[in-house]
Structure 1
Amino acid sequence: MEDITAQELKERLDNKEDFAFIDVREEWEYEEDNLGALNIPLGQLPHQLGEIEKYKDQEIIVHCRSGARSGNAKKFLETKGYNKVRNTLGGILAYRALEQD
């Protein structure tokens, strides 16, 4: 699936749309600033797949700080049969920049 922009993500969150939302940053990053996503750090993702198994056929949006780790998470999930994964381009940095405009 195509990746998602921070603007699209913001609109979807504002509209309370239904999708699985995963933050792959480390716990300390998540505690400092989060958007309400399920926090599974990238390094833990292979060990915590059971937690997201129920979302396998749903749209999953992943994000991190800048989009790099979530891009890797997307690739990993696709190898495990998750076909509806979208990476947030620019990550939480791009999302927070929208709020300052």
Structure 2
Amino acid sequence: MNIAVELFQTSPMLTMAWVVLLFLTLAAFLSSGAGKAIAAQQLTNLVNREDGVVLDIRPAAEFNKGHIVGALNIPLSKLAEADKDLERLKNRPVVVVCAQGMTAVNACKLLKQKGFEKVFRLNSGMQGWQADNLPVTKK
């Protein structure tokens, strides 16, 4: 044990490398099953080329202020019991959208537990989508 302490004290670069490696390993472990993060262009390709569906998990009030055209709104709070609405989507790619891209992780995990195989999440959520000046609708 003393050798490890001495090594870390005399080699700050090695210590930093170990910390970074530990952090990356932990991050990979925590995000497993969270669905692959994709960019807006990939979302568009999935919808247009593979009959993908956009699942917006924000509360209805936020969804009604503006959402991606054709998105299905099932708030995260109701997602666990939305089996009837979700069953028809099981064989399609599903892109989960939230406000900033963080809450979608939990929804992706839940969908994977329900048997969904092609689950993705929009990187940066609606905030990123709107920052890229991509179209939104209120219908």
82, 88, 97: which one pairs with 1:48?
Answer: 82
Greater RCO structure (CA 8 Å; 6+ sep): 1
Aligned length: 98
Tell whether the 8 Å contact from 1:67 to 1:89 is kept in structure 2 after alignment: yes
Q: TM-score, normalised by structure 2?
A: 0.64
123, 128, 137: which one pairs with 1:89?
Answer: 123
1:99 matches 2:130: no
Q: Which residues of 2 match residues 8-87 of structure 1 at below 5 A? A: 8-9=42-43, 11-12=44-45, 16-17=48-49, 18-36=51-69, 37-87=71-121
RMSD, aligned α-carbons: 1.9
Gaps of 5+ in 2: 1-34, 135-139
Q: TM-score, normalised by structure 1?
A: 0.86
- What is the percent sequence identity of the aligned residues? 32
Give CA-to-partner distance per residue, 1:14-51, whole Å, 9 cap, x none: x8442121100000000111113000000100111210
Gaps of 5+ in 1: none
